Amino acid sequence: MQARLFVKRHRTEVAAGTSSLVSSLLSYPLDSVKTRMQAYNFKSFWSCVEHTYKNERVHGFWRGVWSPLLSITLVRTCSFSVYQQAKYTYDAWFQRMLGVSPLRIANTQGAYPTLSTMLCFAAAGATAGASIVVLACPFELTKNAQQISVLMDRNTKSTVEEEIRRNYKNRGTFRTAQAIVAHRGFAGLYSGFQYHLLRDTFGTAIYFTTYESCKQLLANARGNSPTDPKAVILSGGFCGLISWLLTYPIDTAKTAYQRNCLSMHKDNTENIRIRFFRRSEYRGLLVSVSRSCILNAMFFSGFELIKKQINKLEVEEL
């Protein structure tokens, strides 16, 4: 009984955590290839895949999987929890200040997205994205270090920095974090924080606004349930696509900066400029967009399905 009560009270966290765990595990190889293409100049997706398999075999595609599997699940669970609370907070603000309820509009059958609904979802998404960066940044840094550790070692040119690069090779998550702290101090775990904050604040605002608005167009505005499976799958895939398209150069700059932090002496690390609309900044974009579409379609399908099952459980008990 206590377990059921806990699940009902924390249905958002339970659904987000379970769905994130499964979708992240299945889509991880594409994330690994994306990171390698951003950090090093591979000619194509297949050349990166071939190089990885030749030098690291199948294990290379799953290198560092445990860190993001646990961290992404935790971060996404926290993000959805903050988002759910934030959107009700902003909805109450809209009602007090403007006399309209964005959430009531969004859940009304036959209603279309409005400026107030999109602003509400964007503000809640930005709040969620910014709030979890402190937790997410060290995990993502260690994940990137594990994914490109072999490439860093093979691309060593300076004997002075050779030992720094080799410290990350074939290490687990905890030992990778230890190596980063030894190299750059505790603050080194937050290398690239400024890029991460910008990407997640901007990207999460786009992510949730796109998902909620598309779901409203595909479901509510057509007179269907807001959890209609087709609407959820299409909206999930589309929000992943749009958010990555608009934030990808920020992510590329973050990856390049973190690579330099990992492989160079801390006195030699310089900021990386974020450059939009330059072809070199979009290496791995197709891989990332494909992965994001698949991951988010799976994630939101599982998320809505699990919440629906929990809600049924609640109704039966009442």
Q: Is 255 within the bounds of a domain?
A: no
CA dist., res. 216 & res. 141, Å (int): 36
Query: DSSP letters of 214-229?
Result: HHHHHTGGGTS-TT-H
Query: DSSP letters of 235-283?
Result: HHHHHHHHHHHHHHHHHHHHHHHHHHHHHS-GGG--PPPP-TT-GGGGT
Q: Is 182 within the bounds of a domain?
A: yes
Q: Is 254 within the bounds of a domain?
A: no
Q: Is 162 within the bounds of a domain?
A: no
CA dist., res. 63 & res. 263, Å (int): 18
Task: Spell out the residues 6+ positions from residue 101 whose beta carbon is closer than 8 angstroms to its own.
Answer: 91, 94, 95
Q: What is the pLDDT of residue 23?
A: 82
Q: Is 160 within the bounds of a domain?
A: no
Q: Is 297 within the bounds of a domain?
A: yes
Q: What is the pLDDT of residue 133?
A: 92
Has this prediction a pTM greater than 0.85? no
Q: Is 197 within the bounds of a domain?
A: yes
CATH number at residue 20: 1.50.40
Domain carrying residue 84: 11-149+167-247+278-317
Q: What is the pLDDT of residue 35?
A: 79
Q: What is the pLDDT of residue 168?
A: 62
Helices (H), 132-228: 133-154, 159-166, 173-184, 193-218
Q: Is 128 within the bounds of a domain?
A: yes
Q: What is the pLDDT of residue 316?
A: 47
Per the CB < 8 A criterion, the answer to whether 182 and 104 are in contact is no
Per the CB < 8 A criterion, the answer to whether 310 and 8 are in contact is yes
Instruction: Give the pLDDT means over successive 10-residue stretches in the chain (318 positions).
Output: 68 81 81 79 83 82 74 84 94 94 89 93 96 90 77 56 60 78 87 94 96 88 71 90 93 89 74 87 84 87 84 56
For the chain, what is the domain count? 1
